[in-house]
């Protein structure tokens, strides 16, 4: 190997540092590993060099150790150009990127990051942009950190509401105190939440809970004003029953009405909801046909009563992932209609512990009826008594791909796991099948079924 390095004459700069520009040429035979030389210079005229070897292990073991180090304290690569303005201060966008990178470690926000950002902002007037980072994320609070007061935070925003509109992108009421501090009331906390939402109109991720019932109308008006929201989760608050004023959680009807103001909505999660208005109990059964929400991809509904008409209002031509759990009020006919409407795009479906009515004993289960139409569905989880073995037999086998088609079944085990199940394994399109407790309750049949599954390239658990 031949290595040729040309060092130019050293130049003494104004700050007593040396500058050397170097050129290098690599000439090597294919049998030898390549070598690279890295030179860096420091203010006290010392030099640090490192020769890095690259090549196969069987050639490196015969080479001597070619690595030396000389401690350095500074570095100057090139002098400032005489025709270019000296670098003084990076723009605010670059500063914010530097500040943001300093508060992350391993992809997670460092504990006490507020103090770090605050220390940046106090350095000088040009670094005051660091304070903007304090407003961007009110979503996840570090474990063990102090819980701030939503009342005091809202009071600060009232002095400068434009800051909330311009900066807040992620907001959760769970970030703040769940129980009012001495001297604070539930009414004040409720009003503070409404005031924050009224000003943070560009928020994109929302997680909100209840307000006092007297604030219901202005609360819903504030939610409708968040027109840039992409993800929203609505859940029960942490009030103790019988303590404080009556609470209001947005009803399903109210959420559907708000969705017409959220054109960018991609994910909707509602937990422990009621169907109609709190005071009137009205429903949307007499409303006009629903308008699809073009960007809604994820839907989660847990713990509530919902009608087929309301479920149809949550139809989207881009829905990919759906979770329904602990729901009442649905029929197999209405669920079938909705599943057929979203089947062209649906990829993941989970239905658990839902009460789904049948009009008569001859009516088929909704999921059994539509499973053959769900070409893109690759993950299915069912927990209850609303399916049969047809959910296995009607899943057509398709050519092998990078996506594994998985199904998890909880319940209906005596009806599904019989001798006939061995024949089902010969032609089902599911490649990963989990039958909860089957191995424990029917060990002999499970071992036979597992052998048939392996022969057909199926992972049975």
pLDDT tens digits, residue range 58-101? 444 444 444 444 444 344 455 555 655 555 677 777 877 887 77
Give the start-end residues of each E strand in 148-219.
170-172, 205-208, 211-212
Instruction: Compute the distance between CA of residue 67 and CA of residue 73 in angstroms, rounded to an integer.
Output: 19
Query: What is residue 433's predicted lDDT score, i.e. its pLDDT?
Result: 95
8 A C-beta contact, residue 424 and residue 398: no
Q: At what angle do helices 92-102 and 113-121 cross, to 10 degrees?
A: 150
pLDDT tens-digit map of 15-34:
544 444 444 444 444 444 44
Beta strand 267-273 with 298-305: parallel, antiparallel or unpaired?
A: parallel
Tokens encoding 282: 């009205």
Residues 95 and 116: their CA atoms lie apart, in Å, by 14
Q: Which residues of the chain have pLDDT under 70?
A: 1-88, 106-109, 111, 136-137, 139-147, 177-180, 237-244, 275-292
pLDDT (tens digit, 9 = 90+) per residue, 233-275? 987 765 544 566 788 888 888 898 899 899 999 999 998 887 6
pLDDT of residue 237: 63
pLDDT of residue 283: 37
pLDDT score of 180: 67
Burial 249-278 (b: 16+ CB within 10 A, else e): bbbbbbbbbbbeebeebbbbbbbebbbbeb
**308 within 8 A of 284, measured Cβ to Cβ:** no
3-state secondary structure of 53: strand
Q: Where are the domains of the chain?
A: 2-60
């Amino acid at each position: 190997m031949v290595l040729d390095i040309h060092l130019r004459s050293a130049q003494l700069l104004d700050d007593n540092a040396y500058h050397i520009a170097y050129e290098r040429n690599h000439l090597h035979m294919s049998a030898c590993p390549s070598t690279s030389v890295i030179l860096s210079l420091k203010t006290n005229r010392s030099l640090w060099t490192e020769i890095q070897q690259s090549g196969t292990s069987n050639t490196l073991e015969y080479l001597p150790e070619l690595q030396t180090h000389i401690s350095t304290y500074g570095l100057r690569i090139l002098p400032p150009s005489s025709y270019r303005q000296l670098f003084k201060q990076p723009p605010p966008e670059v500063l914010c990127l530097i500040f943001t990178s300093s508060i992350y470690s391993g992809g997670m926000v460092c504990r006490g990051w507020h103090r770090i950002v605050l220390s940046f902002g106090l350095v000088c007037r040009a670094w005051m942009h660091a304070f903007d980072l304090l407003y961007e994320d009110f979503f996840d609070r570090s474990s063990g950190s102090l819980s701030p007061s939503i009342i005091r935070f809202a009071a600060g925003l009232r002095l400068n509401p434009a800051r909330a509109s311009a900066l807040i992108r992620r907001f959760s009421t769970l970030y703040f105190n769940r129980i009012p501090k001495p001297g604070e009331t539930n009414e004040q906390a409720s009003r503070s939440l409404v005031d924050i939402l009224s000003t943070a109109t560009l928020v994109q991720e929302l997680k909100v809970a209840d307000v006092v019932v007297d604030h219901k109308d202005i609360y819903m008006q504030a939610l409708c004003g968040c027109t840039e929201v992409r993800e929203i989760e609505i859940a029960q608050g942490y009030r103790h029953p019988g303590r404080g004023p009556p609470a209001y959680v947005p009803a399903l009807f109210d959420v559907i009405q708000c969705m017409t103001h959220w054109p960018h909505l991609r994910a909707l999660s509602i937990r422990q909801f009621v169907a109609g208005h709190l005071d009137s109990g009205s429903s949307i059964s007499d409303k006009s046909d629903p308008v699809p929400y073009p960007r809604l991809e994820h839907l989660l509904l847990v713990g509530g009563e919902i009608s087929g008409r309301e479920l149809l209002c949550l139809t989207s031509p881009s829905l990919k992932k759906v979770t329904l759990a602990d729901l009442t009020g649905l029929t197999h006919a209405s669920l079938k209609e909705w599943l057929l409407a979203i089947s062209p795009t649906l990829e993941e479906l989970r239905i658990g512990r839902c009460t789904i009515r049948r009009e008569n004993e001859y009516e088929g289960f909704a999921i059994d009826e539509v499973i053959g139409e769900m070409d893109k569905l690759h993950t299915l989880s069912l927990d209850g008594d609303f399916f049969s073995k047809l959910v296995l037999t009607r899943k057509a086998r398709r050519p092998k791909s990078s996506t594994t088609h998985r199904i998890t079944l909880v319940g209906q085990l005596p009806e599904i796991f019989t001798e006939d199940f061995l024949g089902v394994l010969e032609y089902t399109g599911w490649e990963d099948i989990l039958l909860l407790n089957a191995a424990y309750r029917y060990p002999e049949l499970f071992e036979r079924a597992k052998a048939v599954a392996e022969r057909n390239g199926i992972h049975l658990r």
